[in-house]
Amino acid sequence: MDYGENSLKAFNSIDFKEYEGKWVAICETDIVCFGENAKKTFEEAQKKCKNKKIIIARVPEQETMIY
């Protein structure tokens, strides 16, 4: 799946600290919405980003260790 170079660059450069433990939706270079529920977050992003590619991800909490 091609998510678009701008979205991937944004994903790597955004400070996610305020979104810890939440689902975020990135469209082009911006977080367009966030929330506790992945499906609702994605649906809201679809309304805001009609016909654009969306990246959705859960931001881990600070205590979460990724190996």
CB 22 within 8 A of CB 36: yes
Residue 64 is assigned to a structural domain of this protein: no
Residue 66 is assigned to a structural domain of this protein: no
Nearest to 59 by CA among 22, 28, 34, 13: 22
Q: In the sheet where 30-35 sits, what is the strand order?
A: 30-35, 23-27, 54-58
Domain that holds residue 9: 5-58
Predicted confidence (pLDDT) per residue in 6-65, tens digit: 666 776 778 888 999 999 999 888 899 999 999 999 999 999 999 898 989 999 887 765
pLDDT of residue 28: 84
Give the chain's domain count.
1
What whole-number distance in Å separates Cα of residue 20 and Cα of residue 57?
11
Residue 2 has, within 13 A of its CA and on its CB side, a CA count of 2
Residue 67 is assigned to a structural domain of this protein: no
What whole-number distance in Å separates Cα of residue 24 and Cα of residue 33?
6
pLDDT of residue 53: 87
